[in-house]
């Protein structure tokens, strides 16, 4: 079900409208951008275009290149107007609203409406049909002046206390820049990014697929707003660099996608799964592995630990069997040696023995060490097999260890 559009202050709507026009969107499609950002256009778009034209923010011109009789462009005055104080902007918008109609009687009618509001005169049904423009400017609510309207129309009271300055931030791949802070910076950022809502810009690969300008300029603009460096993963996305995500845990691979699809329907099992990697593979954290294994066994699922089974080869008798050289000196526990090689991320030579099979020499790079029941397992990259393998510690022989 689509969500209902949100109401925003007049400055947000005007800022969005100016940037949509600046990007060259046709007038007939401008409303689509407001729908995409879920901005409620009240009153209709024609009201805001007339208001901005009277305020000197947009202008019409002849576009002979595209065959259009009249197109809209943003004036040079727009950027300076956005940097004015909210009080100056509001006074200017009131005058623009009063003088926007082309008809002289309509202008006089709006002027009289402001007089009625100033001196608390009753409003007619015709007045109520026009007052929605002042509601959009935040001056009227429920046919009565707001605190904002009391100050600007009656000249009474005080302006509400301004909201505290909110810092720019990046949250879940979204750059959040509250308006109207640093409006100049946002004016430049809008050249590179399309907002998902006023002041919010997605920094995902999908959102940046149409970005063709220099990414370094965009990075500098965002870091200027954050006043610090952007996270490394966000920077890699902006620079379109290849990246690798490292996920910790145990990967389970099902023999048939239908089996995994059936298990996904069971909430009792689904809560133990951290991430679905594909139609056959899931990622489970080490804390949930034991409980998930027990539940799968009770449901009759066979678990294969992918422990390395050496290939059966014909024993060569005309050459002596290779043995690892044993260093001279005091021996140490082999688990301690494997831990050190794991920290160093270096490879070491081991002999791996499985009952019923001849011992094989392997060169492995340890990745992790796990305790499964009464046995200790070493997950390592086997350079001999050129793949990741699982070895049982008590079946491994490391030179100089016991």
pLDDT band at 315 (very low <50, low <70, confident <90, very high): low
All structural domains of the chain with their residue ranges: 10-82, 86-154, 169-238, 250-298, 334-397
Residue 137 or 304, more confident: 137
pTM: 0.64
Q: Above pLDDT 90, what percent of the chain?
A: 34
Residue 273 or 3, more confident: 273
Mapped to the 3 state alphabet, what secondary structure does the chain carry?
A: CCCCCECCCHHHHHHHHHHHHHCCCCHHHHHHHHHHCCECCCCCHHHHHHHHHHCCCEEEEEECCCCEEEEEEECCHHHHHHCCCHHHHHHHHHHHHHHCCCCHHHHHHHHHHHHHHHCCCCCCHHHHCCCHHHHHCCCEECCEECHHHHHHHHCCCCCCCCCCCCCCEEECCEEECCCCCCHHHHHHHCCCCCEEECCEEECCCCCCCCCCCCHHHHHHHHHHHHCCCCCHHHHHHHCCCCCCCCCCCEEEECCCHHHHHHHHCCHHHHCCCCEECCCCEEEECHHHHHHHHHHHHHCCCCCCCCECCCCCCCCCCCCCCCCCCCCCCCCECHHHHHHHHHHHCCCEEEEECCCCCCCEEEEEEEEEEEEECCEEEEEEEECCCCEEEEEEHHHEECCCEC
In the CATH scheme, what architecture does the domain 10-82 have?
Answer: Orthogonal Bundle (1.10)
**The pLDDT of residue 69:** 52
Q: For the segment 265-307, what is each residue's pLDDT rounded down to a tens digit? A: 788 888 888 888 788 888 888 888 888 888 888 878 887 766 5
């Amino acid at each position: 079900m689509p969500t209902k559009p949100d109401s925003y202050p007049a400055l947000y709507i005007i800022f969005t409208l100016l940037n949509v026009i600046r990007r060259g969107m046709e007038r007939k499609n401008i409303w689509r951008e407001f729908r995409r950002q879920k901005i409620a256009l009240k009153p209709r778009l024609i009201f805001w275009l007339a208001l901005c034209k009277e305020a000197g923010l947009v202008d019409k011109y002849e576009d002979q290149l595209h065959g259009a009789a009249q197109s809209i462009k943003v004036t040079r005055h727009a950027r300076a107007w956005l940097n004015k104080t909210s009080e100056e902007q509001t006074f200017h918008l009131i005058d623009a609203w009063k003088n926007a109609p082309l008809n002289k009687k309509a202008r006089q009618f709006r002027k009289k409406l402001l007089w009625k509001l100033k001196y608390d005169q009753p409003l007619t049904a015709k007045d109520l049909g026009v007052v929605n423009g002042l509601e959009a400017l935040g001056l009227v609510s429920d046919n009565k002046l707001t605190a904002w309207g009391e100050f600007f129309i009656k000249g009474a009271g005080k302006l509400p206390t301004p909201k505290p300055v909110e810092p720019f931030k990046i949250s879940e791949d979204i750059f959040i820049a509250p308006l109207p802070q640093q409006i100049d910076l946002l004016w430049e950022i809008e050249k590179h990014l399309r907002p998902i809502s006023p002041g919010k810009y997605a920094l995902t690969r999908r959102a940046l697929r149409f970005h063709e300008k220099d990414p370094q300029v965009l990075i500098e603009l965002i870091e200027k707003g954050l006043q610090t460096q952007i996270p490394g993963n966000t920077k890699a996305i902006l620079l379109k660099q290849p990246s690798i995500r490292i996920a910790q845990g145990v990967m389970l691979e099902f023999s048939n996608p239908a089996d995994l699809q059936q298990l996904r329907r069971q909430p009792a099992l689904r809560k133990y799964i951290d991430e679905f990697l594909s139609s056959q593979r899931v990622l489970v954290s080490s804390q949930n592995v034991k409980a998930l294994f027990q539940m799968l066994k009770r449901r009759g699922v066979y678990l294969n630990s992918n422990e390395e089974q050496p290939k059966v080869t014909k024993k060569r008798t005309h050459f002596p069997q290779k043995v690892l050289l044993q260093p001279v000196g005091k021996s140490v526990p082999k688990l301690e040696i494997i831990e050190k090689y794991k920290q160093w991320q270096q490879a070491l030579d081991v002999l791996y023995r499985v009952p019923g099979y001849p011992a094989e020499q392997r060169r492995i790079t340890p990745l992790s060490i796990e305790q499964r029941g009464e046995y200790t397992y070493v997950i390592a990259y086997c350079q001999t097999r050129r793949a990741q393998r699982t070895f049982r510690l008590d079946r491994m022989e490391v030179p100089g260890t016991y």
